[in-house]
Chain A
Amino acid sequence: MSITQATRKAPPVRPGDRVFAGLSTGAGILILVILAGVGIFLTAKGIPGILAKPDEVKSGQHFLPWVWPLVFGTLIAATIALLIAVPVAIGVALFISHYAPRRLGQIFGYLIDLLAAVPSVVYGLWGIQFLAPHLVPFYAWLNKHLSFIPFFGEPSATGRTILTACIVLAVMILPIMTAICREIFLQTPRLHEEAALALGATKWEMARLAIFPYARSGIVSAAMLGLGRALGETLAVAMVLSVTAGEVTANLIGSSNPSTIAANIALNFKESTGLSVNALIASGLVLFVITFLVNFAARAVVERRSEFSGAN
């Protein structure tokens, strides 16, 4: 009875509803406006920099040959950071969600989240003052025994190499990736896990058969979020990395390394004037586009697998 009555009468619209709907729509539009604003600013200010002649900018080069080593450095730093961080993040998340005793897991989770609250300048200080000097003997060892691999060429005497920067970046992106993976792993249906165990799977096999397939798209989104942060990280890289302008090298442990786009802007913006500033902004536009592409790729992966996952 009461049900039919309710459907017949139009639901009352309260002022609170309207205000809230307006607020959230406004917030959504605001995001678009900000994004468009940033995009327009970067394009408008960047184009003169892209078109600048070599003798008009400080680098003395055309835009593409100038920006290419930076793109190379950005991608290689972010990729290696991701390669280091993903397995660790998955391991830690699995430990917290399925292996550790409940209380211990909780404490562990808090500790990981705490890492996310450390400002990047502190990571930079840690990297340059502590990590880099301690990695010097390790790099010397790598060079001595593995120098046939082009990654391990002439080692740096201070340890401020792109590999060190990657390790710092990996530590920085670990918390967010761990947090997401942990949440996804915890959502794995209990029945899937028990079914795997009932078929005689060990705990590791259960993780492989039940948890990972279910969480795959979540892991991908976590990795992409981490990648986004690694691509844009500025201060820690600028502090840790020993950069040489225009360098493109496979050597990960040498003294001369390619800079990243964000770090390069931070290092050169202060003393730049005129078209050199436009060139820096244009490199920012390149980073903007790269980040966009990465996010689109991540979206595509998540969409494709959405029907199996808990990530939607």
Chain B
Amino acid sequence: MNRKSLRYAAPTAAALVLALSLSACGAGNESDSTKPSNAAATVSGTLNAGGSTAQQSAVAAWTKAFQTTNSGATVNYDPVGSGGGREQFIAGGLQVAGSDAALTDDELAKAKTKCKSDVVEVPTYVSPIAVIFNLKGVDKLNLSPKTLGGIFQGTITTWNDAAIKADNPDATLPGTKITPVHRSDDSGTTQNFTDYLDQTSDGAWTGKAVQTWPVKSGEGAEGTSGVVAAVKGGDGTIGYADESQAGDLGKASIKVGSDFTAPTAAAASKVLDASEEVTGRAKTDIAITVNRKVTDSAVYPIVLVSYQIACQKYDDKAQAALVKAWLTYVTSADGQQVAASSAGSAPLSAAFVTKAQAAVATIAGA
């Protein structure tokens, strides 16, 4: 009898324990939400955002800070990639999209239909892309855009090539073979890097500005970490990656105007001020054509500019308030600083913060 009753008693007891512990969890959550909010301005609800993988670590830092000040708010960021983010935003699955490229005219029209209003598109994340290299005996390297284009095109094949020597008259360059490393996955980093080469290399680069690496030379590696690992693992390698991820690898200085500029956050954030907005768009749509051909050598022109995209009008007032609060924080000087210290990005300049904040301020419930 004992044994039989035990057979039934054990699962029952287990179920009971489980139920109790679950209800304890539930109670914990409730006490959180019923807590009186300490400031009237805090927002609550769930914000579904997603898109660019480049913004991921910055978004993580923003989310942490945002959820601390707004304890009732939850921000979910799904790093599906820029294209996926824009697509899901237009389809209505995401309230905010992160994207390494501004909406195309076609996408903009669709997004406007979906939002039944204008679109708010603000640059939120600017990051310098460093040209990283690993070459025995060389730790400083200067490169002009034309040389850089030739290296990645595969027309300059050894480190003691005359073009590289001309950029570095004082360096002793070995005859090692150059192995250019590029991203094997599609990426906004590639898009921005090839855009730079396309505009500035004076014909040395013929691959145009594209997301997928177009030239059949060199090595492919997956993701920023893959490129960094591949450059580190070989001798005579050169690649491009987010400056913050470059670690202790050598970073080439790029010729801007008449001088060579190192990839720093400060030099990168200046490029937006030297660039122009895409014309013919709503005031809230701050899409930027990055000026790669700047001549001021205090500016570093190989940057990745990533946006966050939202509707100007939302049917739900609470939703509108949440999106507005989020973007206000992200584009604020404070938010930009948080991203700079945690993700190594270049903070937006004061002028752009003002401009972005003005655009975000127009978000409202219908």
Q: Which parts of A93-148 form the interface with B (CB within 8 Å)? A: 128-129, 132-133, 136
Interface residues as binary, A251-264 with B (CB distance below 8 Å gives 1, 0 otherwise): 00001100100000
A interface secondary structure, majority: loop
Determine if B226 is an interface residue (Cβ-Cβ < 8 Å).
yes
How many angstroms between the C-alpha atoms of A128 and B220 in the bound complex?
A: 12
* Chain A residues, Cβ within 8 Å of B236: 157
Q: Are A246 and B53 in contact (CB under 8 A)?
A: no
**Who on chain A is nearest to B86 by CB?**
A273
Nearest chain A CB to B319 CB, angstrom units: 25
Determine if A202 is an interface residue (Cβ-Cβ < 8 Å).
no
Interface centre among A133, A159, A255, by most chain B C-beta atoms within 10 angstroms, is: A255
How many angstroms between the C-alpha atoms of A272 and B213 in the bound complex?
A: 14
Determine if A183 is an interface residue (Cβ-Cβ < 8 Å).
no
Determine if B221 is an interface residue (Cβ-Cβ < 8 Å).
yes
Interface stretch (choices A75-83, A187-195, A203-211, A236-244): A236-244
Interface centre among B179, B217, B219, by most chain A C-beta atoms within 10 angstroms, is: B219
Beyond A158-B219, A255-B218, A256-B217, is A271–B179 a contact (Cβ under 8 Å)? no
Q: Are A268 and B186 in contact (CB under 8 A)?
A: yes
Beyond A132-B233, A157-B234, A242-B221, is A270–B80 a contact (Cβ under 8 Å)? yes
Q: Which parts of B178-237 form the interface with A (CB within 8 Å)? A: 179, 181, 184-187, 211-213, 216-222, 226, 229-230, 233-237
Interface centre among A158, A242, A267, A270, by most chain B C-beta atoms within 10 angstroms, is: A158
Determine if B84 is an interface residue (Cβ-Cβ < 8 Å).
yes
Determine if A156 is an interface residue (Cβ-Cβ < 8 Å).
yes
**Who on chain B is nearest to A244 by CB?**
B216
Determine if A58 is an interface residue (Cβ-Cβ < 8 Å).
yes
**Who on chain A is nearest to B100 by CB?**
A271
Nearest chain A CB to B81 CB, angstrom units: 4
Q: Are B221 and A271 in contact (CB under 8 A)?
A: no
Nearest chain B CB to A286 CB, angstrom units: 20
* Chain A residues, Cβ within 8 Å of B184: 238, 241-243, 259, 267
How many angstroms between the C-alpha atoms of A243 and B187 in the bound complex?
A: 15
How many angstroms between the C-alpha atoms of A159 and B81 in the bound complex?
A: 29
Nearest chain B CB to A235 CB, angstrom units: 9
Q: Are B219 and A156 in contact (CB under 8 A)?
A: yes
How many angstroms between the C-alpha atoms of A129 and B230 in the bound complex?
A: 8
Interface size class of B (residues with CB under 8 A): 20 to 34
**Who on chain A is nearest to B178 by CB?**
A157
* Chain A residues, Cβ within 8 Å of B270: none
How many angstroms between the C-alpha atoms of A60 and B229 in the bound complex?
A: 30
Tell me the number of A-to-B contacts counted with CB atoms below 8 Å.
96
How many angstroms between the C-alpha atoms of A305 and B221 in the bound complex?
A: 44
Q: Are A245 and B212 in contact (CB under 8 A)?
A: yes
Interface centre among B218, B233, B235, by most chain A C-beta atoms within 10 angstroms, is: B233
Nearest chain B CB to A141 CB, angstrom units: 16
Determine if A160 is an interface residue (Cβ-Cβ < 8 Å).
yes
Interface centre among B80, B185, B222, by most chain A C-beta atoms within 10 angstroms, is: B222
**Who on chain B is nearest to A134 by CB?**
B233
**Who on chain B is nearest to A58 by CB?**
B212
* Chain A residues, Cβ within 8 Å of B213: 245
* Chain B residues, Cβ within 8 Å of A133: 233-234
Nearest chain B CB to A81 CB, angstrom units: 19
Beyond A246-B216, A270-B81, A271-B84, is A160–B53 a contact (Cβ under 8 Å)? no
Interface residues as binary, A209-248 with B (CB distance below 8 Å gives 1, 0 otherwise): 0000000000000000000000000000011011111110
Q: Are A271 and B211 in contact (CB under 8 A)?
A: yes
How many angstroms between the C-alpha atoms of A273 and B216 in the bound complex?
A: 24
How many angstroms between the C-alpha atoms of A237 and B246 in the bound complex?
A: 23
How many angstroms between the C-alpha atoms of A268 and B230 in the bound complex?
A: 19
* Chain B residues, Cβ within 8 Å of A132: 233
The one of B81, B179, B211, B216 that contacts A158, using a Cβ cutoff of 8 Å = B179
How many angstroms between the C-alpha atoms of A246 and B237 in the bound complex?
A: 23
Determine if B45 is an interface residue (Cβ-Cβ < 8 Å).
no
Q: Are A157 and B212 in contact (CB under 8 A)?
A: no
- Nearest 6 pairs of A and B residues by beta carbon: A158-B234, A271-B186, A270-B81, A242-B219, A157-B179, A157-B234
Residues on A lying within 8 angstroms of B by beta carbon are 58, 128-129, 132-133, 136, 156-160, 238-239, 241-247, 255-256, 259, 267-268, 270-274
Could you list 26 A-B pairs, sorted by A, with CB under 8 Å?
A128-B221, A128-B226, A128-B233, A136-B234, A156-B219, A156-B234, A157-B179, A157-B235, A157-B237, A158-B181, A158-B219, A159-B233, A159-B234, A160-B230, A241-B184, A241-B220, A242-B230, A243-B184, A256-B217, A270-B81, A270-B84, A271-B83, A271-B185, A271-B211, A272-B83, A273-B87
Q: A128-B229, A156-B179, A272-B83 are in contact. List 5 more A-B contacts (CB 8 A).
A: A128-B230, A157-B177, A158-B230, A239-B226, A242-B221
